[in-house]
Amino acid sequence: MAEITSVLIRTNVGSYEQMMEEFSWAIPDALNIATEICDRHALARPLATAIIEDVDGRVRNYTFADLKRLSDNLAHAFVELGVARGDRVIVSLGQDVEALLAHLACFKVGAISVPVAGLYSGEGLAFRVNDCEAGLVVTNRTGADKLGDLRLPTVRHVVVTHKQAVGAEVDFDSLLQTSHGDFPVADTRADDPALIFYTSGTTGSPKGALHAHRMANAHLPCVQLGFEMAPQIGDVFWTASDWSWLGSLGDLVFPALYLGHPVVVTPGRFSIERAYQAMQLHNISCPFLATAVLRSMSKEPVPEGASFKVRAIMTGGEAMPPEVLRWAQRTFAAAVNDEFGLTESNQTAVGCTTLYSTPEGSVGRLAPGKKVTIIDAAGSELPAGQHGEIAIWHDSPCNMLGYWNRPEQTANKFIGGWMRTGDQGALDDQGFLYYYGRLDDLILVNGLRVGPEEVEAQILLHPAVAEVAVVGIPDERSGESIVAVVKLQAGAEGGQQLVEQLQALVKRNLAAHCYPKKIIFVDTIPVTSTGKIRRGELRRSLVQQTQVAA
């Protein structure tokens, strides 16, 4: 195996205490993600399998040499299309080999890749493209069609996959097949920007969390623990999640490739049946299955006679229901390790049964190299065991560089050197972290964060709506369900037709996971003396009504 350029935990370390004592960050100054996860393996182990692509049972393997050759070709093509160092490139493809190649090409050029979920459309999509001033968009036919009516002044080219480009669009496949030889990888530094992940907020528009090339190395210790001292001989990695999420790229794809182990790719729509098939067919040993995925799987029957080679599951995204945890442990006969992180600072705490037993209700123990505390509203540190806001020290290499073009909001994220997470929690004297939910009003739908104000802004576009308040209430299947409380304009009438219009409006202008499953028409919406919506009061009232109805 090629030389490892960043510190890794010894897989035979004796204890958590020994690991913490031995550990220190050793991230090199000169660093490029493409070299770390692809090119160095292509030089040392060119024929080793990097990707196992499974398209409805049709399997194709890509070696590290394949990834290097194809991403080199694509990097040359990006330069010919005008992409330069520091430029932003939207990658809206989901879980696809083409997505990985696009990211690698961006890194090689020194450009910044911006993963955007294919769920987004309309204003939700346009905002993300325009906010980062992307010059290039790489997408599929469905994604390209969504761009048609949007005003995107900085976009010079739209690159479309699977030979489905039309008109002035650029064909992705032809770019891959045009060879110009090896591409000289940009001489980036560890702190140079590499990726922007957009995160929803409770006030105003989404914000782009800008991450550096150091991210791929910084995530390794926590991933090793979550996958029970990975890598082990024969490990095969997979996630059910869309690759536009930091939790899929950062928690699985990049780390697995860094370690030189294959990643299974399952393009297209997720289904529980397909998940079980992939896990068995490819002998997946290390899957990242978000809490929302495990919750959905637990409600469906396991295929009769199913046999799994899973040795560790890493999970996260939201609080894990105890009954789902027990189901997963029983079904896969494997360790199930929760992990805590956020878009701005991932890989903070994790479970690892090899080294310690995580108490019920905890998301795991602090990962090596992470300095975490619990603070009160004024930013003062609280004693062990007390509830408050989880905060992470400012210089963690897992931290974002800042919000894209938002210096004021970046500054507001920190207090006294601590990055505020917006999450409620507690930390005991053994380093076990407990997560108790959000301090703000973000809604978690199947692990995806939805800002209520984004949804409210779309509903207010309808001429029948005078006021609206959006909150999340507990939901057995999705974690939380979005509810919109609507006050109508004088003379307007509520009804099922209007409900469907408002739901369609949100789906069209934002994303399918953002639409309110329930819309309630009211005469008044509770607000404070300054006109702010009393979301907590509204949420409690709706939850109480739901419980009474049940």
For residues 501 and 185, what is the distance between their CA atoms, to the nearest angstrom? Answer: 49
The tokens of 244 are what? 């536009």
Contacts of range 65-69, beta carbons closer than 8 Å, 24 or more positions apart:
67/38, 67/42, 67/100, 67/101, 67/104, 68/38, 68/39, 68/42, 69/179
What type of residue is 371? K
pLDDT score, position 444:
85
pTM: 0.87
Whether the Cβ atoms of residue 418 and residue 394 lie closer than 8 Å to each other = yes
List per-residue pLDDT tens for the chain, 550 residues long. Answer: 334 345 789 989 999 999 999 999 999 999 999 999 999 999 999 999 999 999 988 999 999 999 999 999 999 999 999 999 999 999 999 999 999 999 999 999 999 999 999 989 998 999 999 999 999 999 999 999 999 989 999 999 999 999 999 999 999 999 999 999 999 999 999 999 999 999 876 556 889 999 999 999 999 999 999 999 999 999 999 999 999 999 999 999 999 999 999 999 999 988 999 999 999 999 999 999 998 899 889 989 999 999 999 999 999 987 788 889 999 999 999 999 999 999 999 999 999 999 999 998 899 999 999 999 999 989 999 999 999 999 999 999 999 999 999 999 999 999 999 999 988 899 999 999 999 877 778 888 887 888 888 898 899 999 999 989 999 998 888 888 999 999 999 999 899 999 999 999 999 998 888 999 999 999 999 876 556 788 888 988 888 887 666 5
What's the pLDDT at 201? 62
Token pair recorded at residue 443: 């809604």
Structure tokens at 79: 């330069």
Give me the residues paired with residue 470 across strands.
484
DSSP 35: I
The Cα–Cα gap between 18 and 33 comes to 29
Question: What CA dihedral angle connects 145, 151, 153 and 158, to 10 degrees?
Answer: 0
Question: How many CB atoms within 10 Å of residue 14?
Answer: 10
Which domains are assigned to the chain?
31-48+63-214 (3.40.50.12780), 443-549 (3.30.300.30)
Q: How far apart are CA 36 and CA 44, in angstroms?
A: 12
- Tell how far CA 171 is from the center of its chain: 27
Q: State the first-to-last Cα distance of the chain, in angstroms, to the nearest integer.
A: 58
Say what the pLDDT of residue 2 is: 38
**Cis (ω within 30 of 0) for the bond into 231?**
yes
pLDDT of residue 362: 94
- Amino acid 1: pLDDT: 33
**Class of residue 150 by CB neighbours under 10 A (exposed 0-12, middle 13-18, buried 19+):** middle
Q: Show Cβ contacts of residue 526 under 8 Å, excluding neighbours closer than 6 positions.
A: 469, 533, 534, 537, 538
